[in-house]
A and B are shown apart, each in its own frame.
Chain A
Amino acid sequence: MPYEAQISRTQPTAFLFLVDQSYSMTDKMSTGRSKADFVADVLNKTITELVAKCSKSEGVRNYFEIGIIGYGHETVDNALQGELSGKVINPISELEKHPVKVEQRKKKMDDGAGGIIELDVKFPIWYEAKANGGTPMRAALTMAAEELVEWCDNNPESYPPTVLHITDGESTDGNPEEIAEKLKLISTNDGEVLVFNLHVSASGDKPISFPAGEMNLTDDYSKMLFRMSSELPPALTSYAQEKGYTVSGESRGFILNAEASDIVDFFDIGTRASQLR
Chain B
Amino acid sequence: MKKIFDITVAKDKSEASSNEDAFDYDYSKQVFALSDGASESYDSKIWAKILVREFVDTPNISEEWVLKCAKKYLESLDLTNLTESQFIAFNKGSFATLIALQRQSNKVSILNVGDSHIFVFAKYPDNDANSTIKSKAVRYIELFKKPVFTKNPTLISTKVRNNDFIDFNEIEKSLYFKTLDLEYPFSSLTELHKKVSFVLNNSAPINNLRLPNDTAIFLICATDAVAEWIFKYIEANKTDKIFNFLLSLKEDKNKGKFEKTVSLCRHLKTMNVDDSTLAILKCEV
Q: Closest approach, in angstroms, between the C-beta of B76 and any C-beta of chain A?
A: 9
- Is A122 in contact with B83, judged by CB distance below 8 angstroms? yes
Give the contact-size bracket for chain B.
35 or more
B81 at interface, CB cutoff 8 A: yes
Q: Which residue of B lies closest to A45 (CB)?
A: B84
CA–CA, A58 and B160, complex, Å: 23
B213 at interface, CB cutoff 8 A: no
- Is B84 in contact with A123, judged by CB distance below 8 angstroms? yes
Among A8, A113, A120, chain B packs the most CB atoms within 10 A around the CB of: A113
A110 at interface, CB cutoff 8 A: yes
B82 at interface, CB cutoff 8 A: yes
Give the residues in chain A near B154, CB-CB below 8 Å.
273-275
- Is A121 in contact with B159, judged by CB distance below 8 angstroms? no
Selected from B42, B152, B160, the residue in CB contact (under 8 A) with A273 is B152
Selected from B42, B71, B81, B224, the residue in CB contact (under 8 A) with A57 is B42
Give the residues in chain B near A107, CB-CB below 8 Å.
87
Q: Which residue of B lies closest to A44 (CB)?
A: B84
Q: Given known contacts A110-B159, A272-B40, is B85 in contact with A277 (CB within 8 Å)?
A: no
Q: Given known contacts A8-B11, A269-B39, A272-B39, is B88 in contact with A48 (CB within 8 Å)?
A: yes
CA–CA, A114 and B82, complex, Å: 21
B91 at interface, CB cutoff 8 A: yes
Give the residues in chain A near B39, CB-CB below 8 Å.
269-272
- Is B38 in contact with A273, judged by CB distance below 8 angstroms? yes
- Is B160 in contact with A276, judged by CB distance below 8 angstroms? no
Give the residues in chain A near B11, CB-CB below 8 Å.
8, 270
Give the contact-size bracket for chain A.
35 or more
Selected from A6, A48, A57, the residue in CB contact (under 8 A) with B85 is A48
Q: Given known contacts A112-B74, A121-B82, A276-B152, is B160 in contact with A56 (CB within 8 Å)?
A: no
Q: Given known contacts A112-B159, A274-B154, is B91 in contact with A9 (CB within 8 Å)?
A: no
- Is A56 in contact with B43, judged by CB distance below 8 angstroms? yes
Identify whether the interface residues of A are mostly helix, strand, loop, or mixed. Answer: mixed
Q: Mark A114-125, 1 if CB is under 8 A from B, else 0.
A: 100101111110
A98 at interface, CB cutoff 8 A: no
A51 at interface, CB cutoff 8 A: yes
Q: Given known contacts A119-B82, A120-B81, is B162 in contact with A273 (CB within 8 Å)?
A: yes
B280 at interface, CB cutoff 8 A: no
Q: Closest approach, in angstroms, between the C-beta of B161 and any C-beta of chain A?
A: 7
Q: Which residue of A lies closest to B151 (CB)?
A: A274
CA–CA, A41 and B92, complex, Å: 21
B12 at interface, CB cutoff 8 A: yes
- Is A124 in contact with B46, judged by CB distance below 8 angstroms? no
- Is A10 in contact with B12, judged by CB distance below 8 angstroms? yes
Q: Given known contacts A120-B80, A274-B153, is B42 in contact with A56 (CB within 8 Å)?
A: yes
- Is A112 in contact with B160, judged by CB distance below 8 angstroms? yes
CA–CA, A9 and B11, complex, Å: 10
Q: Given known contacts A6-B272, A56-B43, A112-B158, is B88 in contact with A49 (CB within 8 Å)?
A: yes
Q: Which residue of A lies closest to B11 (CB)?
A: A8
Q: Mark B52-63, 1 if CB is under 8 A from A, else 0.
A: 000000000000
A-B complex: 10 closest residue pairs judged by Cβ atoms: A270-B39, A51-B85, A52-B88, A273-B95, A55-B89, A57-B43, A52-B85, A113-B70, A112-B159, A271-B38
Interface residues of chain B, those whose CB is within 8 Å of chain A, are 11-12, 15, 36, 38-43, 46, 67, 70-71, 73-74, 77-89, 91-93, 95, 115, 151-155, 157-162, 165, 224, 272-274
Apart from A9-B15, A122-B81: 18 A-B pairs, beta carbons within 8 A: A8-B273, A48-B85, A51-B83, A55-B42, A57-B77, A57-B78, A96-B85, A110-B161, A112-B160, A113-B158, A119-B79, A271-B36, A271-B39, A271-B152, A272-B39, A273-B95, A273-B157, A276-B92
Interface residues of chain A, those whose CB is within 8 Å of chain B, are 6, 8-10, 48-49, 51-53, 55-58, 60, 96, 107, 109-114, 117, 119-124, 242, 269-277
Can you list 19 A-B pairs, Cβ within 8 angstroms, ordered by A?
A6-B272, A6-B273, A8-B11, A9-B15, A53-B89, A56-B89, A107-B87, A109-B91, A113-B71, A114-B67, A114-B160, A119-B82, A119-B87, A122-B81, A271-B38, A271-B153, A273-B95, A275-B155, A276-B152
